[in-house]
Structure 1
Amino acid sequence: MAVARLSIDDLAEIVKSRKGADPGTSYTAKLLDRGVGQCAKKFGEEAVETVIAAMDGDKQAICSEAADVLYHLVVLLAAADVELEDIYAELGRREGTSGIVEKARRGT
């Protein structure tokens, strides 16, 4: 049995379609209605849970938590009015540049 694949672009379209929906009937709309700060907080919580799963070496939990991280990242981006195309452009700008060099340029 084939498992349906949902791309990050597909997910972004679904999230975007929930903007302005009834927060009483849509979890995504509820998150978006709470604003960028709350979306960022939820993203952070899910990231920490992913780290914990990784530290435990639990592959299934990592998969589950990573899905939550991707979902909540897309929600955060939508709440902040950041398009995936902007992220893709930034990744493209960095292509071919050493991560060490890139970090040095940013001073981090």
Structure 2
Amino acid sequence: MSALDRLAATIAARKGADPESSWTAKLLAKGPEKCAEKFGEEAVEAIIEAVKGDRERLTSEAADVLYHLLVMLASRDVALAEVLAELERREGTSGIAEKAARS
């Protein structure tokens, strides 16, 4: 089990927890819109660190992005396994071809 799998399992387990006892439960209790907003904030922070070129800060912010992405997915009952299956489906397909197929 990868670190992402363990994190996703922890987030799923906290879904029904008391919001006063868990940051994850608190985020989930605020609803999908707030989870999406928080993901966006973290993504912007990662972008800023990428532009600055600070590897250590970018690594930290990237971890925050992954955590908040998983929380946002959980808020809409989308499992990490579903996202990974989609990535596997796309594997070996040119990004240009994949994007053209969406149109």
Q: TM-score, normalised by structure 2?
A: 0.95
Deviations 1:41-77 (A, max 9, x none): 0000000000000000000110110000000001011
Query: Is the aligned partner of 1:101 residue 2:97?
Result: yes
The percent identity for this pair of structures is 60
Aligned to 1:83: 79
2: CA distance, partners of 1:93 / 1:84: 14
Unpaired runs of at least 5, structure 1: 1-5
Unpaired runs of at least 5, structure 2: none
Cα RMSD after superposing both structures = 0.9
Query: Is the aligned partner of 1:35 residue 2:41?
Result: no
Q: 1:66 aligns with which of 62, 65, 88?
A: 62
Aligned to 1:52: 48
Q: TM-score, normalised by structure 1?
A: 0.91
Q: 1:18 aligns with which of 14, 19, 22?
A: 14
Deviations 1:65-100 (A, max 9, x none): 000000000101111100111111111110110011
Deviation at 1:31, TM superposition (A): 0.2
How many aligned positions are there?
102
Q: Which runs of 4+ in 1 moved over 2 A?
A: none
2: CA distance, partners of 1:76 / 1:17: 14
